[in-house]
Amino acid sequence: MILRVGLTGGIASGKSTIARRFAALGCMTIDADLIVARLYRPGAAGHEALVRTYGKTILRPDGEIDRQKLADTAFANSSEAQKLNALIHPLVIAEETRLVAGEATRFPGRNRIVIVEATLLLESGGKKRYDKIVVVDVDPETQIARAMARGMLRDDAMRRMANQMSREERLRLADYVIDNSGDMRSAEVATHRVYEALMKEVEERRSRLS
């Protein structure tokens, strides 16, 4: 039995840190950003779609996608962000589906939790694609401070946040919330608590099918 879990949160909320903790607990984790990175490589479907849509001005001299130039265009406003999502998300979803199917084949008959980590998971209709949604939540000021600590300008961080789903809406759609505003130990305890709830869920689902 595979339980498909979407892990999401706003920019700089610490999703990757939480995903690593789930992996340490035995979950399979899929990083949508890594899938996107592969899709953006020359010759990949995502690269072709982006050049077709935005032109060669988004390319570096070596033919790779210039992520900053793409972001300056694609996140200029919500309409542009939606256009990018419409191009790339179907390709990402197809790859996620392939990876989950492979996990089910490798471990037939075993209970498995597959965690898919993605920033725009809910914006792309993820509520319908996953069995459960886990939201990593931080307060906005902490979010901005962490984004700036990564080298992002405050205005850029705020613009990215404005083009994402609101914090209130994410929390409303969540099945489980992990508060990542505090220290690492608190987040670790919260992640373990959610993991236990997810394991109970997958076991109950398997029992109902038996």
Handedness of CA 68, 62, 39, 90 (dihedral sign): positive
pLDDT value for 202: 92
Domain boundaries, the chain: 2-209
| Residue 81 predicted with pLDDT over 80 | no
Across 19-28, 74-83, 84-93, least confident range: 74-83
DSSP state string for 30-86: EEHHHHHHHHTSTTSHHHHHHHHHH-GGGB-TTS-B-HHHHHHHHTSSHHHHHHHHH
Per the prediction, the chain carries an average pLDDT of 90
Residue 73's pLDDT band, with cuts at 50, 70 and 90, is confident
In this predicted model, what pLDDT tens digit does every residue of 138-177 receive, in sequence order?
Answer: 999 999 999 999 888 898 888 888 878 899 999 999 999 9
CA gap 48, 34 in Å, rounded: 17
According to CATH, the superfamily of the domain at 2-209 is P-loop containing nucleotide triphosphate hydrolases (3.40.50.300)
CA gap 101, 104 in Å, rounded: 5
For the chain, the residue count is: 210
Residue 72's pLDDT band, with cuts at 50, 70 and 90, is confident
